[in-house]
Structure formats: structure tokens, C-alpha cells
């Protein structure tokens, strides 16, 4: 795939799921530079579409609607779904059934590449003293993390069986600024997030790849050397926010599991029942 040139944009039509969310809103501007038409989808309202954007209100759990949603797109950035721990039945619909529906639609309509928003919670039960890379085993810290492991495995299968390429982004904490000391390690600036998506869409022959989404923070838990072919070089750092929190070195001996493990407080969650 090529970078945008004066001759035209590389994609005719890109699909963004989760477009109404925190990261979806950040990405919309960039996608406009990469595709003639950006198809935005969410279950939450999206009512401020620009002329190059087409809005589809779709629940990812609705297979027929997802089929219609995916028809005619060249590539997908899949951010949609539940983004925190939640009752199992809700996670099943949005993150398990929803991601399956999306990949199955991609297979049916010949979509060649998907950028999948996985999460650091797919590996959150590794201790903070370990440095992980793309081959480190999944150790989900929550049922939410389990659904991200499912997405990583599903996308692996759809690549091995059908050749659909995926870059799984194990995103750290992508917000305006870190909200707690842990996020000084896991922080991914919005600018670096957008660059990571750009690299994931435009690098040739990614196959099935796993990459960690963190800025160039002073303390690192994740080594992206094995995803070096993506050319992702974060420009930002949480160092600018270091004054927000007291500095404490990571240690495996801490009593508090929320400090011992990379997933932070997620490791303390309990399976939840859906409130009727
Ligand atoms: P968000 O919660 O702000 O956005 C997710 C969007 O998905 C929401 O707009 C929501 O309405 C939509 N959605 C939920 N269920 C849906 C369904 N059944 N059908 C269609 N749409 C549905 O989350 P955010 O921060 O924008 O994250 C985007 C993605 O990145 C999520 O998949 C999240 O798990 C992942 N991620 C984000 C991180 C972060 O720090 N922001 C860290 C790690 C992963
Ligand atoms: C995630 O996966 C969540 O989507 C986000 O809301 C944060 O909790 C983030 O991980 C994090 O670990 O900080």
C-alpha cells in the first residue's frame, strides 16, 4: 500500500468502527487524508459527519447489519466494542460476536487489511518487572482482556486461513494525559496513536502482527523490536507529565496486585453479572 500522493488518496473507502469513542474521534481527521470516503460506524450517535464521511449506526453484534457495513470498503480500523471490563454477556455481544461478525464480513467482501484495537489487558497479568515483546504469551487480566485475546487469535486464524492481514495494537493508555502513575508507563499520546494506525495501514505485507501502543516513555514494559518493520517511532513521552505523580520504581514484591502487574487495577476485577 502506498502513502498519500498528489495523484490521489490510497484508499477509496475506509471503515472506522467505534468512531464515536475517545480514539475514534481522534482518528477521524487523519483518515480524511488517507481515504476518499470514510465510513464511520458506532452504536452511539454520530451526527456531525463531514462531506467525505458516511455514517452507519450499527451494533457490531448484528451480523446482517455488519455485512452491509463492510461491503465496499478497502480496509478497516476496528476500534468498536466495550473498552473496559464489563459483564460477560455484554462482552460476548460487542467484543466476541462483534469482532467475529466483522472478520466474517471482511472475508466475504474481500477486505485485505484490518487494524484491530487490542489492549495491554491481553497481557496484563505479566508482572511489571518483565519486558514483553510480540511473542510474549497472552496473560489476560480480566474478561475484557480475554476478549482482546480472542480478537488476536481470531485475526491470526483469518490471516492463516484466508490471508486477511491484521495489525493487533496492544494499546497502553491513550488519553489526553496519564490519569495515574501506572499510565506514565503505558501512556500513548493521541499523536502517536494516529501514527501507529498510519504505519499499520500503509506498511506493505504486515501479515499478522502484534505491536504495543506506547509513547517513548521513560519507563518501558514493552519492546517493539519484532514489529520494527512497521516503522513506528513514537514522538511523544509521558516525561512531560511526570510532575503529576510521585515517582516510584516498579517492583515485583509490592503487596498490592494492582501495582505488581502490568494491567494495574484490572487484575483485581471480579466477573460481573449484567444488571437487568
Ligand atoms: P471508547 O469506549 O471511547 O470507544 C469505543 C466505542 O465503541 C464507543 O463509541 C462505543 O459506543 C462503541 N461500541 C461499543 N459497543 C458497540 C457495539 N456493540 N457496536 C458498535 N459499537 C460499539 O474506547 P476508546 O478509548 O476509543 O478505545 C477504542 C478501542 O481501543 C477499544 O476497542 C478499546 O478496547 C481499545 N483500547 C483503548 C485504549 C485506550 O487507552 N483508549 C487502551 C487499550 C485498548
Ligand atoms: C484499556 O484497554 C481501556 O480501553 C482503557 O480505557 C484504559 O483502561 C487502558 O486500557 C489502560 O490500561 O489504561
Question: Whole-prediction pTM value?
Answer: 0.96
Please write the tens of the pLDDT for every residue from 100-114.
999 999 999 999 999
How many angstroms is it from 1 CA to the middle of ligand 2?
A: 30
Q: How far is CA 170 from the centre of its chain?
A: 6
Instruction: Map out the domains of the chain as residue ranges.
Output: 11-268
Residues of the chain with pLDDT > 70, as a percent, come to 94
What does the CA dihedral 52, 54, 60, 62 come to, rounded to 10 degrees? -150
User: Which CATH number, 3.40.50.720, 3.50.50.60, 3.40.50.1980, 3.30.920.30, labels domain 11-268?
Assistant: 3.40.50.720
Q: Whose CA is nearest to atom 11 of ligand 2?
A: 173
> Which ligand is closest to the CA of 186, given by its number?
2
18 C-alpha to center of ligand 1: Å?
6
Phi-psi region for residue 231, left (φ > 0), alpha (ψ -120 to 50) or beta?
Answer: left
Tens digit of pLDDT per residue, the chain (276 long)?
555 555 689 999 999 999 999 999 999 999 999 999 999 999 999 988 999 999 999 999 999 999 999 999 999 999 999 999 999 999 999 999 999 999 999 999 999 999 999 999 999 999 999 999 999 999 999 999 999 999 999 999 999 999 999 999 999 999 999 999 999 999 999 999 999 999 999 999 999 999 999 999 999 999 999 999 999 999 999 999 999 987 666 565 578 999 999 999 999 999 998 876
**Which are the catalytic amino acids?**
144
**Atom of ligand 2 minimally distant from the CA of 119:** 2
Q: What is the DSSP string of 195-255?
A: HHHHHHHHSS---EEEEEE--S-SS-SB--GGGGGG-------GGGGGGGS------TT-S
Determine the residue of 117, 173, 177, 264 to mutate for testing ligand 2's pocket, defined as the one with the most ligand atoms within 8 A of the Cβ atom. Answer: 173
CA nearest ligand 1 atom 4, residue: 21
Beta partners for residue 96, in sequence order: none
Name the residue of 16, 21, 191 whose CB sits within 8 Å of the most ligand 1 atoms, as the mutation to test its pocket.
Answer: 21
Whether residue 86 has its Cβ less than 6 Å from ligand 1: no
Containing 115, the helix (H) or strand (E) segment is strand 113-117
Amino acid at each position: 500500500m502506498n502513502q498519500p500522493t498528489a495523484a490521489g488518496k490510497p484508499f477509496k473507502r475506509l471503515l472506522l468502527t467505534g468512531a464515536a469513542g475517545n480514539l475514534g474521534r481522534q482518528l477521524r481527521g487523519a483518515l480524511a487524508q488517507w481515504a476518499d470516503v470514510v465510513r464511520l460506524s458506532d452504536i452511539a450517535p454520530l451526527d456531525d459527519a463531514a462531506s467525505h464521511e458516511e455514517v452507519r449506526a450499527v451494533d457490531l453484534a448484528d451480523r446482517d447489519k455488519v455485512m452491509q457495513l463492510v461491503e465496499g470498503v478497502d480496509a478497516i480500523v476496528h476500534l468498536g466494542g466495550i473498552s473496559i471490563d464489563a459483564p460477560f454477556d455484554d462482552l460476548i455481544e460487542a467484543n466476541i460476536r462483534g469482532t467475529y461478525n466483522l472478520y466474517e464480513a471482511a472475508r466475504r467482501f474481500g477486505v485485505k487489511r484490518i487494524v484491530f484495537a487490542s489492549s495491554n489487558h491481553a497481557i496484563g497479568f505479566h508482572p511489571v518487572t518483565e519486558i514483553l515483546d510480540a511473542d510474549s504469551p497472552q496473560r489476560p487480566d480480566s474478561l475484557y482482556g480475554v476478549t482482546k485475546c480472542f480478537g488476536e487469535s481470531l485475526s491470526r486464524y483469518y490471516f492463516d486461513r484466508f490471508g486477511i492481514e491484521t495489525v493487533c495494537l496492544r494499546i497502553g493508555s491513550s488519553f489526553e494525559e496519564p490519569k495515574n502513575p501506572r499510565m506514565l508507563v503505558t501512556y500513548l499520546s493521541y499523536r502517536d496513536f494516529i501514527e501507529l494506525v498510519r504505519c499499520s495501514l500503509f506498511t506493505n505485507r504486515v501479515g499478522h502482527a502484534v505491536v504495543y501502543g506506547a509513547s517513548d516513555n521513560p519507563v518501558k514494559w514493552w519492546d517493539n523490536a519484532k514489529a520494527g518493520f512497521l516503522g513506528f517511532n513514537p514522538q511523544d513521552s509521558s516525561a512531560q507529565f511526570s510532575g503529576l505523580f510521585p515517582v516510584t520504581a516498579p517492583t515485583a514484591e509490592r503487596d498490592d496486585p494492582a501495582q505488581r502487574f502490568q494491567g494495574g487495577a484490572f487484575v483485581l476485577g471480579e466477573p460481573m453479572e449484567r444488571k437487568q
